[in-house]
Structure 1
Amino acid sequence: MRRLFLILLVALLATTSFSVTSVPVQAQDDEAPLFVVVAHGGDKNPFWKVAVRGFMDGCEQLQVRCEWLSDPLDNIADMASYWETALEMNPAGIATTVPDPELIRDVVTKASELKIPVISINTPDPNRKTDKALPMIDFYIGTDDYLAGVNNAKRVLAQSKADGVTIKNAVCPLQEQGHAGLMARCQGVKDVFEPEKIPVETIDISYDVSASAEAIVTYLDEKPETNAIFLLGPSVISSFSLVIEEKGLKPGEMYAVGHDTSTEAYQLIQEGFLLQTVDQQPYLQGYMAIIWLYQISQYGMLPGQDVLTGPSPIDLNNVETVIELTAEGIR
């Protein structure tokens, strides 16, 4: 046990500087503690597949029993039912995403009453540190979506000023309405652009790549002065690829930045259509979830602050390295 604790301590020090899917990890010891992640995305989603990989790797390292409960792709509405399943397992700890706190308030309250440690990953409780906060440990593992939006907005401003171009209008297509993290990304953009008197508009789209591309094209036709676009995730980046074809855009004509990773994002960066995409390193979110749940449940230890896994910009300077890590399932 001492050797295992030392291995974990090294891992922690190295990382803190910076239908339903059920993915089980079975320990050699059937009496090993059980830990559960309840999320709004699963291993059929390219983004969440990497987070699940990190979670499983951490579980195997610790030799504990683990379950990842979620929709195979993306689903916020059914999270309460996944939570009910988690509670029936009587786990030693639960990590959860919180895209909509009211949907899971009752079940998180029940976990608190049962003395089950609960932490947030990927998407924090937007009401944390207020009287509306969920009754869970005030500890979050993931990116800071607001800072990610700020980072992208500053990159667009810096590049446009270097090019001698004025940003006249910006658009922030929102693929999942009511998602606190996505709205925080847009808010970061707005707070950077407002002092520059640059309007930023939000339009509702969806995860349907083709339909979303059509909606963006329609918006650009109606607002031809728009020369900056903020793509809030891989599906929107895919939609933007179709927009490029439909509108006949040339590299650098539209100041575009993205969030998260995908093959298309890397290609658009290499081709000059995307200035950068801001990664939140989902592998670390899954991995650190089990590492810290184990520490909390077994030793009562918590870090002194949140563990931020992003924002981590990917651009022409490092995209080749990230492509290699993506092939290994780590980025």
Structure 2
Amino acid sequence: MPAPKRLLALAVAAPLLLSACTTEGGGGSGGEGSGGAGGGGGDLVFSVITHGSAGDAFWDVVQNGAEKAGDDLGIEVDYQSDGDPQRQAQLIDAAVNQEVDGIVVSLANPDALQDSIEAAVEAGIPVVTINSGGDRSAELGAIGHVGQEEQIAGRGAGEALAGAGAQNVLCVVHEAGNIGLEQRCSGASEGLGTQVTPLQVDVNDLQGAQSAIASQLQGDTGIDAVLTLNSAVAAVAVEAAADAGSEAQVATFDLNEDVISGIQAGDIAFAVDQQQYEQGYLPIVMLKLYAENLNTVGGGQPVLTGPAIVDADNVDEIADLASAGTR
């Protein structure tokens, strides 16, 4: 069943940030999730350290944004990632030891990263947090946060599902301990007006995720919608519904080519897009402004990159951009 067209909130990507881009440069290449240097090779060196898994299309787009900003601004950008919170903390520690000029860090597990982030701040290294954890960012000493407010995004997804007639929603959580994912499901319950049913799966075991979703759909034939929180999981959710003989509609957070194709084919109702390219690009601009002029952005509030809805009404416009690695 197609979702109604719904725009939740446009990204608050301030023109001030983009005006700092004073030189032309090439786009960054997609990464494999482990890391790599990119950017313009200038005097400033910024580290981008995320919790993305190797080969995750979402985080490849974040890396593309960060490296394109480095190219545009003449800054060396070193992108590293590890899905294990302790190893992500170690990457932050290593960046501090290397005396980089700024650090961008995704904050899915604030407690695990707290000591390392505070050590960076104590060393005089400005930190911008991205993606999850915006409510903890200032507390840890970051100069800003770039992302979407996950509770609000979840609420919008729940409202869109309710508008499409859903009443019994399975919310598929793909990373244990990620507070942002928990907030998405909580917000979806608010928007839907009734509690969603959470299901824990592992994004690194998509076959297992497909089996778990199919089993849940077979066990509760009243489920009429599946909300996934990751684009890769969305694709297997479509397969799981077919395996289970379920007519439950599938909706998701985040985009990749499979999700776009699924929306075009009518297999996926909509995707909540947080425009993660901006989560890579804008923090590099923010750190440059801070390094050169002590500017901060956002007035103590997160710089929002989403959410917005991609559905049958606008998916064709987004498809080419996604193929280019910027959506």
Shorter-normalised TM-score: what interval?
0.7 to 0.9
The correspondence for 1:158, drawn from 163, 169, 172, is 163
Question: For residue 44 of structure 2, what is the aligned residue in structure 1?
Answer: 33
Matches of residues 35-114 of structure 1 in structure 2 within 5 Å?
35-41=46-52, 44-71=55-82, 74-114=83-123
Query: 2-side partners of 1:199 and 1:33: how far apart?
Result: 48
Match of 1:24 in 2: 37
SS in 1 for 2:136: coil
Structure 1 unpaired stretches of 5+: 1-5, 13-18, 161-166
Q: Unpaired runs of 5+ in structure 2?
A: 1-15, 23-31
Structure 1 equivalent of residue 266 of structure 2: 272
* Structure-to-structure mapping, 1:79-228, within 5 angstroms: 79-128=88-137, 133-137=139-143, 139-160=144-165, 167-194=166-193, 198-207=194-203, 208-228=205-225
CA deviation vs aligned residue, 1:129-179 (integer Å, no higher than 9, x gap): 6xxx32332x2111222121111111111121xxxxxx4422111111110
1:246 corresponds to = 243
Q: Does 1 or 2 have the higher relative contact order (CA < 8 Å, sep 6+)?
A: 2
Q: Is the 8 A contact 1:231 1:237 kept in 2?
A: yes
Residue in structure 1 matched with residue 26 of structure 2 by the alignment: none
Instruction: Please say if 1:311 is aligned against 2:297.
Output: no
Deviation readout 1:75-109 (Å, 9 max, x if unpaired): 43421111121112211111111111111111112
Name whichever of 218-227 and 38-47 sits farther off: 38-47
Cα distance in 2 for residues equivalent to 1:168 and 1:135: 41
For the residues of structure 2 that align with 1:318 and 1:81, how far apart are their CA atoms?
A: 41
User: Cα 1:297–1:255, aligned 2, differ >3 Å: closer, same or farther?
Assistant: same
Matched, 1:257 2:251: yes
Q: Percent identity?
A: 26
Q: Secondary structure at the match of 2:268?
A: coil
The residue aligned with 2:5 is none
The number of equivalent residue pairs is 300
Q: Distance between the aligned counterparts of 1:7 and 1:141, measured in 2? A: 12
- Report the aligned-residue RMSD: 2.2
Greater C-alpha Rg = 1
Give the Cα–Cα distance (whole angstroms) in 2 for the partners of residues 54 and 267 of structure 1: 23
Structure 1 residue 309 displacement after superposition: 0.9
TM-score (norm: length of structure 2): 0.85
Q: Report the counterpart of residue 163 of structure 1 in structure 2.
A: none
CA change 1:101–1:321 in 2 (3 A) is same
TM normalised by structure 1 equals: 0.84
